Structures are given as C-alpha cells and as structure tokens.
Structure 1
Amino acid sequence: MENMPHSKSAIKESSNNRLLILSLSCLMGVIGGLFAAVLRFLIEIISYFFTEILLPHISLVIQDYNLGYLLLPTIGGLIVGIIISKFSKEVQGSGIPYLLESMTFKSAKISPRVGLFKTIATSISIGTGGSAGKEGPIALIAASFGSFFGGKLSLRPENKRLLMTCGLAAGIAGTFGAPAGGALFGLEILYQGITLSAGIPVFLAAVIGSVVTGLFYGYDNIFAVDFDLSSIKIAEYPIFILLGVFCAIVAYLHIFSYKKISRLFHKMKIPLFIKPAIGGLLVGLLIMFYPDSGLYGTGFNGIQQAFDENLALGMLVILLILKILASSATIGSGGSGGVFAPLVYIGCMAGGAFGTAGNSLFPSLISTPALYCILGSAAVFSASAQAPLNISLIIAEMTGHFDVFPPLIVTSISSYYVGRIFFKGSSIYTLILGRKGHHLKADTIYLLGTTQVHEIMSTNLVTVSSSIKISDFAQLSNQYHPLNKFPVVDFGNLKGIAFIDDINKIPYNSWESTTIKSIMRTEHTIISAKATLQEAMDRMNQYNLRALVVAEKIEGTDKYNLQGLVTFNDIISVWQKERKK
C-alpha cells in the first residue's frame, strides 16, 4: 500500500507525457504539411522563371538541340555552391544522412537554420534542372522543428527522435500525398523501429501533414494510371521476384556511379562553390538531348510517360542510364537534393525495360509492361534505401492503385534482400554519410537501442584517488598505457572519472601542488550496465564526455558498485565489427 501513491504518480506522469507527445505530433504534422507546400511552390516558381522567362532569352538551337539547357542547371549549381560555401555546408546532398547523423551522434540536435538553407538550396537545384528529389530538404526542415521543440521542452533524447520522425513523416506524406507511406518512411528509415507507442504519433502527424498540403494542392494522385490491373496473373509472381533481382542490380550500378562521380569531384582542387556548377553543366548536357523526358528536376513527367506506355524499349534503357548519370552528377558534385525521386525514376525505367523486353519474348506471361514500371519504381528504392515496406505503400498511394500492393511487396522484398547482399547491410543514405567518416549500417540506430552497455564495457580498470597529484597521475598513465581514463574512488566511494588528456588544462609548474580533484568529472558520469548504447551515446554527447563509469547503486546507501567503463570508442568498435560482418 505504501507504493500506491508513487504508482499513481508514475501513471499520471506517463499519461501526461503521452498527451504532450501526441499534441506535439499534431503540431509537427501541421508544420511538415505547410513546408511541403512551401517547397513545392518554391520549386514551381523557380522552374517557371528559368524555363519560361530566362530560357527563351538564352536559347541557341543547333540541329534541334537547345544549348540554353546547358546554362540552367549550371547557374543553379553555382548559386547552390555559394550557399554551401558561405552559409551552410550541411545543405549538400540528401538531408536524410544528416538526420541519421544527428539521431546517432548528436542526441537529435538540429538547427532550424540548416533546414531553412536546405529548403532554399534544393528549391534552386531542382527548379533549375538538377536531378534530385524533394524528400531530403522537407524531411530535414520538418525534423529540425521536432528537434527544436524537443530541446525547448527539455524532452528526453528518445522523445526528440520521435518528434523528428513525426516531422519527417508529415513532410514526406504531404510531398507525395502518401500518409501511410510517409509514416512508414519515417519509422523504417529514420526511427528504425515500429512500435505502437511510436507508430501512433507518427501516423497521426503523417495524416495531418497530408491533409494540410492537400488544402493547397488538392488530393489527386501524383500519377495517373489508367490501365486495368485485374489482369495480373499468379504465374507472374516468380517473374516479380526476378524483377526484384534485376532492380537490385540497377540500384548497385546507380550507387557505383554515384560513388565514382562523388570521388572525382572530391579530388578536384577547385573552390567548393564551383563543383555543383560543374555538376550542373553535366546535367544540362544530358537535358539538352532529352529535355522533355524527365531528366530535368524530379523527373515525374518522365515517369508518367512510362506509365502511359509511350516509351519504347530503347528509350527506356537510354533514360535509365542518363538518369543515373544526371542524379550522380547533381548529388555527387555537392548539389542539394534528395535521392527518392531519381531512384523512383530509375526504377520505373528499369521495370519498364524489363516488362517490355519480357512482353516481346513471352507475351502470354506479361500482363502489361506498365505494371512493371510501377513495380520497378518501388524495387530500386527498396534495394538502395533498404526499406521495402514504406516504398511499397508510397507507390500504391501515389498511383491510387492498392490492388497492385501484393506484387509491389513481393518485388520490393526480393530487391531488398539482394541489395542487402550487395551493400553489406548499408543503404544509400548510410553510404553517403560514410563520406564524413561515419560508417553506419542501415540498422545502426536499432542496434544502439537494443544493445546494452554491459555487453561491450571494459572491466580492465585502474582506479585512482582524488587526492593524487597531477604529476603522479601523469606517471600512472604511462605505467598503465594505453589506459587514459580512470574511475576516481575515495575510501570505497565512487566519485567520478579522470581523463589523462585533461592534465593539459593545468600549467606544468603546478602539477606537484595540484590534485586530480581539480580536473576530474563528477556530474553525469555514471551509467547503469543495463542502459542501452544509445543512452550512453546521448549522455556523452550531452555532457561532452568521452567515457562513462558503469556502476549500480547499492540499495539503502549512497555508494555504487563499480562494474566497468564504456567509452565512445567502444561504441564505435561495435559498428566496425558489424561493418566487417
């Protein structure tokens, strides 16, 4: 009976917290939906200015090729390059890797300033012809508000991550008119886990985001699909599996192209702001040959042409190759934009080519080549992003054809598993993040949240007293090299931790008269052995620590039972082992 008030208090606190999260998820839904509409408007305005106003004045037509297209992405790339070099380097490439980095390494901290510049840069990049998608910037700016409100309300890091996921889901849902797919996008790629407590606020935010964007742009499907899908045959399902394998190979070729072009630009000894302009020039060259086939911008018009079965086999293959090059040049050169739209376009052309070729060879087995365009649109993204569930739902919602969901799932799962072999557990987002030295896997955040500290902690400990002189402490570190972090224990009482690097804060001539009590860290240095690696990482990031003492409090006392030590490098080593696997 004595615990009853405490239990009621805990239940009330938990209920209030859930209510707060639900309320904030609604707010994230509104913000995500609004910014999805704003981003779409900016891209439309910029595209109209460059194609309808500027292009006629700079056009030079030679043998039916308009050289003016060379300049549009080049000008856009130059402007984006200036934004990157002068204001925010974080706006380069897709915004999803930056979110993964923040979720993993920075306790879900993102500045709204980064999201704002990302929106401007991507609007210019896509509006002037850059071959990129809209999901990166909208995800980044919507998630940044989740991080902002979470910080202002002093929410726990896991709740900040949840709000960031709500913002991302709302932005994706509004951008593509896909609330269910947008929610799964956030849970599958960013949050990397689907539970009831997380799913409810994320799905709520996604639905609100979709509704808010629809108030400005309507609720029509992104793509119009007129053919009859009832003709799908049971005998085609093995072919869908083969299509998944083929699309995984295409995904591998796309990532291979991106990595090669990215390294090429990285090695260029030229100013940073020039590189996106050079990438834009390469894209402009490709657009010049096929200006109306979806190489310009997101490419949704080209996807619609493929759905309408207006493209021959040869054209499908050509556009597939050119979009791979255009996307790689835009993002690999440091331009701003996401990879979702290019991957959907590449998959559409790959699926269309597969279906058209199959229809020519085995007309009795292939129901319609356009169906394979739809399936390919999902399969290439599934292999590249290692996310088969959300893309299947998004494509079904974008086309308005949920009757194609079963073959979508079969094809996407097939490509997912083949892609997992090709990319060794990484995804296109974690591979992009790898350029910054963070070699994560597609399930890294899940790994951090499920692995406990005691599984990796070091038990090889040397303790010191707070009364030891700095000079003696320095000699001790030499004696026990390579140990450089020492739990501080006085008369059996755990006091904190001392780092050998911190002795440099004390003048050398004061080492004999100063004890390590002046440099030891005492606040927030103890963590439970049952805590997760993510909790340990959050603690280190939040309080600028390089290690934590692992200890459990002895019941009925103020003393701790020292068990071990966990360092930042210990957690990194977990990723390294997973990477080798």
Structure 2
Amino acid sequence: MNPSTKITARPSRRNVDYWLKIYLFAAIIGALGGGVAIILRISIDGIRYFFTDILLPLITIKVGNYNLGLLFLPIIGALIVGPIISKFAPETKGSGIPVLFESMALKGGKLRGRVGLTKIFVSSITIGSGGSAGIEGPIALIGANMGSIFGSKLRLNPMEKRLLMTCGLAAGIAGSFHAPLGGALFGLEILFQGVTLIESIPVFFAAAIGALVANLFFETNHVISFTLNSVNPQEFGIFLIVGIIFALIAFIWIKFHHGALLSFKSIKIPEWLKPTIGAIFTGIIIVFTPMGMGLYGTGINGIENVLENPLIPLLFLLFGILKMISTSATIGSGGSGGIFGPSLYIGCMYGGFFGYTLEYFFPNFIENPQLYCFIGMAAFFSALTIAPLNITFILVEMTGVTHLITPLLIASVASYFVSRVLLRGTSIYTLLLKRGETSLKSETIFKMENIRVTDIMSTNLITVSPDLPILEFARMSSEHGLEQFPVLDFGKLVGIAYIDDLFNLNYEQWDSITVNQMMKPVNVTIEPERSLQNCMDKMHEHELRAILVTKEIVVEDDKKDIILLGILSQNDIIRAWEQQKQE
C-alpha cells in the first residue's frame, strides 16, 4: 500500500501489520475519547454547581417570583470565555464541527494542539453558566483534536489522520451519551462520509472503547427515561408527515440561526465582547422561565421533566421558540458549544405540541403522545444536520427503547430528504463554510477522493526559460492569460514562476531581472493518478499556489527521467469543487 494515498479497503497478509496498527491506534484514541467525555462532564457539572449554588445566592435580586440574579450568570460566563476565545483559540468559538470540516477537507487533518484543552474550558463555562449550547460540538472537537495530535506525532498520512480524528470524535460522543453505535454513526455520517465498511470498523471499535471507559466512571443508566410498549401501525403515516413538517421548522431555524451569526458578526464592537450580548438575551429568558424547564444549559433536564410532567400544547410551543432564540444568541454571538442538546429540546417541545394537540382532537387514535417528543427530536436534528441514522440510534441508546427505531427512522428520513432539498446538501454545521460561492459539505472529502488529478489538470502548458527577461515574462502572462509557468532549462524542470511574484520585485530592476531570479524551486510534484484530496493535502502542507503534475519514466540504461504532464492550480480545484456542487 502506498501510504500517501488512502487507506486500503482490502487487508491481506501483507498489510495485516498495518491494520493491527490502525486498530491499536483506534483503541488508544477511543480510551482517550472516553476519558475526555468524563472530564468534560465533570467540568460542566462543577462549573454549573459553582454558578448556581455558590455564585447565584451572592447576587440574588428577588423581584416578585423572579430572581434577576439569573440574568448575570451567563453574562459573567461570557465575559470569561470571550477574551479567551478571541485571543487564544478562535477555533473554539461555536460548535467546533465546522472547524473539523475545514481541517479534514482542506488542511490534511491538522488542528492546533491548544484547541482541545481550551475547548474543554470555554465550553464548560458557557454551558455551566447557563448558555444554551450542547456538548456534542465540544466533545467532537476535543476528541478529533486528540486524533490529529496523535496522527501528527506519528507522522501518519492525511487519510490516516482523518480516520483517527473520526475515531476520537466517535469515542467522545459515545462516552458522553452512552451510545457507541450512535457515536460511530455520528462521526461517519456527519464528518467522514464515503469510507468503505472495512475503513469504518476502527471507528466503531473506538466508539465502543470510549463508551466502555465512560461507563466505568459513570452509572450506565439511560440518559433519558422513557417506556414504550408498542407503536400503533396506523400512526406511521403521521410520523412521515411530522417528519416533513419538522424539516420546514428546521429550515426556518437554520435561516434564523444563520442570520443571528451574521448579525453578531457585523456588530462593530470587539470580538471578545460579542458573547456578552448574546448572554443578555439568554439571561433574560432564563430569568422568566422555571429553572427545571431546560432553558438553562443544554436542555436535557428539561426533556426529562416534560416527559414526566407533560405541559399544555401552547407551553410546549412557547418553550421551543424560546430555546431557538437562546441557542442562536449563545452560539451566534461566539459562545462555545454545540447544537445537539438544544436541538433535542426544541424537537421535543414541538413534538410534544403536535402529539398532545393530536391527542386532544383524536383521543382514540393517538396511543402515546409522548412518543411525538422523540419523533420531534429525531426529525429536527436529522433535518438540521442532514444525518438521519446517527440520531435514530443515539436516541434508542439514550432511552434503551428498541421500539423507537421504526418510528424514528420514518420521521428522520422524511425530514432528511426534504431538508437536503431545501438546504442543497449543506447543513447547520456547514452553512458558513464557504469558498467563494461554494460550501463545504459532509461528503466533500469523499467527492474529492473520487476525482483524479488527471481529470482536471491543465495540459495546455506554456513553459519559459530561466533566462527569459521579466518584461517578456509579463507580456507572455498577459497574452495567454496564465498566472503560473513551469520553468524548463534545456528540457529539464527547474522551477515554477508566478506572475504575482513580479510585484514583489523593485520595478526599477525589471529591465535587468530574469525568470531565474524570481522562480520557485520545484520540491513537490504529484502524479496524475492521485486523488484531488491528496493533491489538496500536499498543496496545504507545502503552502503551494499550484502544483506540477509529473510522471517518472524509465529511459535507456535503466535511467529514470521526469516528464511534465500538466499543472493544477488553486483555481482549477475551485472549479472542480463548483462542478461537484452543480452535479
């Protein structure tokens, strides 16, 4: 196997050692991911205890039945995390999933080492102080960061690094929610699509190890308590309709969330102060709603409360709307946290609204209105992330109710299909990741792996001599509309010259300078059969604006020679990317 291409899908006797190494790495990353899930949970619980049990009594301001001191908890948290995120690690802003997309697709799986520890700290404070955010984004970024560091230290190739990043993410999710199957599917469905079954096995293995490690520390009770003895087959059609409706609700919220992000981005105040603005909105909502209703923090406790003590339909609707606002305020302003917990809460509230409204009008038809809370969770998250499978199995593992699989799949697949059409393949995680007019998508890496360099390289080569005067070089660039030229000296490739570098030279010296004095040496080339993703990895690693496509041939007396076949520039890659988007 050529280690610079991709992970082979056919382990044989020759590469058994290789796969043993991969599984060993996956086990190590899985154990670390489970350990980080423990640390993050303890950290959030500890900070929440400090804010609500120690700090709140000191700043309590009672006005009737309302405690205005609650307003200041998320504000204090935002004032702590804002400067840290802005000055130390901007990657820790928001959920962290978009950062992973960018790292996996464009940076060869590289993440700065400081990101993981910083993310634990800022996300714990954001969520513990009352910010409306989830833990899936933080744990995903932290777990993937460990995989990236591990892969970099061992000098693994980019595809192996991406696999270990996915293992770390899956293990963290599995350990956080006691959901090894859902954790693995989260990584594969949202982050690393297109891998073969054999390539995905280490991810499931890492997720199982992560869940095992976390379960050794925490009780293995289900995250959400729920009992369902059976499902009325006559309601399956309603599940389908509800799934479609939730896709529309998710689409509206994504647009609102996107608008909030852009609005906060446009505010002319220091970046470190922006989370405080969002915290004010969140704090106001917390003040005027009961603490146990889930508007404080992730919202998981609110889900448990409404399942035990159902609300009237209008209150379900109201709390769902308020959670939408507070989550967009927290994350959109630059707070640190994901959308998993809040999206489950929002889905639960709207699902409860539909379920109990239907029960009111059709009491003999709706057997269990609480079921619609779970239908709402699955359909809403599926529509937001364009990922119907992982949410189905995460909810089944979080509740231990296997009867949920069929209803959840019906609703989540329906919402997935409608949302994919509405969002054109993007998701709430990738909407802001654009290059020009092109958005990163979860399948970007898979698509780039299936495009060969030879399919898109420019073969209309115009070469120049190293002795060519600069003014003549500029004239050739203008005449042919090209920005880079291979430099050949008596047929031998010696460099590459960029027209942009011309402007770094003193204009008065142009008459006396030749291409030889401005060209860049060619230390890295790529073969035509390599994938476009491999090409992007090389260009990022060596900071190249263009890369020459070459092929090694054998000449007389077994001597080898390099022939120039083409050139691939950043513009060529962007055009290929846009073509994939149109298809």
Do these two structures clear the TM 0.5 threshold for a shared fold by scoring above it? yes
Contact 1:524 1:543 in 2 (8 A): no
2:273 matches 1:274: yes
Corresponding residue number in structure 2 for 1:559: 561
Structure 1 residues 428, 565: closer, same or farther in 2, change over 3 A? same
In structure 2, the partner of 1:120 is 121
| d(CA) in 1 for partners of 2:150, 2:308 | 45
Counterpart for residue 457 of structure 1: 457
The structure-2 alpha-carbon separation of the partners of 1:25 and 1:438, relative to structure 1 and needing over 3 Å to count, comes to farther
Q: Distance in 1 between matches of 2:570 and 2:561?
A: 25
DSSP 3-state at the match of 2:429: helix
Q: Is the 8 A contact 1:381 1:391 kept in 2?
A: yes
Letter in 2 for 1:532: S
State the shift of 1:128 in Å.
0.4
1:210 Cα deviation (Å)?
Answer: 0.7
1:306 Cα offset (Å):
2.9
Helix, strand or coil at the partner of 1:550: strand
CA apart distance, 1:424:
1.2
1:63-100 CA distances to partner (integer Å, 9 max, x unpaired)? 21111111111111111112122322221101110011
Unaligned runs of 5+ in 1: 1-9
Which stretch shows the higher mean deviation, 556-565 or 566-575? 556-565
The 1:447–1:149 alpha-carbon spacing in structure 2 relative to 1, beyond 3 Å, is: same
Which amino acid in structure 1 is aligned with residue 234 of structure 2? A
Contact preservation (8 Å) 2:432, 2:439? no
Correspondences of 1:402-551 after superposition (within 5 Å): 402-434=402-434, 439-481=439-481, 483-504=482-503, 507=506, 515-551=514-550
Paired with 1:381 and 1:288, the residues of 2 have a C-alpha distance of 27
Equivalent in the alignment of 2:240: 241
Q: What secondary structure sits across from 2:220 in the alignment? A: coil
Structure 2: unaligned runs, 5 residues or longer: 1-10
8 A contact 2:174–2:180 mirrored in 1 = yes
Does the Cα contact within 8 Å between 2:137 and 2:338 map onto a contact in 1? yes
1:211 Cα deviation after fit:
0.9
The SS at the match of 1:488 is: strand
| Cα pair distance change 1:306/1:434, threshold 3 Å | farther
Which structure 2 residues correspond to residues 162-311 of structure 1 after superposition, within 5 A? 162-226=163-227, 228-230=228-230, 232-290=231-289, 291-308=291-308, 310-311=310-311
Q: Does 1:571 find its partner at 2:573?
A: yes
> Which letter does structure 1 place at the counterpart of 2:329?
A
SS of structure 2 residue aligned to 1:369: coil
Hey, what does 1:367 align to over in structure 2? 367
Q: State the aligned residue count.
A: 569
Per-residue deviation at 1:521? 3.9
Cα distance between partner residues in 2 of 1:261 and 1:275: 12
Shift of 1:288: 1.1
**Equivalents in 2 of 1:578, 1:55: separation in Å?**
53
Q: CA deviation at 1:458?
A: 2.4
Equivalent position of 1:137 in the other structure: 138
CA distance, structure 2, for counterparts of residue 82 and residue 438 of structure 1: 31
Q: 380-389 or 306-315: which moved more? A: 306-315
Structure 2 equivalent of residue 318 of structure 1: 318
Q: Report the residue type matching 2:483 in the other structure.
A: N
CA distance in 1, matches of 2:520, 2:20: 36
Q: Secondary structure at the match of 1:462?
A: coil
- What is the TM-score with the length of structure 2 in the denominator? 0.93
> Which residue is 1:104 aligned to?
105
Which region of structure 1 is more displaced relative to structure 2, 416-425 or 84-93? 84-93
Kept in 1: contact 2:113–2:149 (CA 8 A):
yes
Residue 368 of structure 1: SS of its match in structure 2?
A: coil
Q: Alpha carbon RMSD of aligned pairs, Å?
A: 2.1
Q: What is the CA-CA distance between 1:400 and the residue it aligns to?
A: 0.9
Contact 1:449 1:534 (8 Å CA) reproduced = yes
If the length of structure 1 is used for normalisation, what is the TM-score?
A: 0.93
Question: Shift of the alpha carbon at 1:506?
Answer: 5.1
- In 1, the alpha carbon distance for the partners of 2:238 and 2:448 equals 38
The whole-number CA distance in structure 2 between the counterparts of 1:356 and 1:116 is 43
Q: Distance in 1 between matches of 2:570 and 2:15?
A: 31
Question: What residue is the counterpart of 1:67 in the other structure?
Answer: 68
Query: Could you tell me how far apart the structure 2 residues matched to 1:120 and 1:433 are?
Result: 25
Q: What secondary structure is seen at the aligned counterpart in 2 of 1:329?
A: helix
Contact persistence 1:351–1:372 (CA under 8 A): yes
- Secondary structure, in 3 states, of the residue corresponding to 2:431? helix
CA distance in 2, matches of 1:342, 1:435: 29
Q: 1:379 to 1:194 in 2, by over 3 A?
A: farther
Distance 1:13 1:540, change over 3 A: farther
Alignment check: 8 A CA contact 1:529 1:552 kept: yes
| Equivalent residue runs for 1:339-418 within 5 Å | 339-418=339-418
d(CA) in 1 for partners of 2:410, 2:250: 17
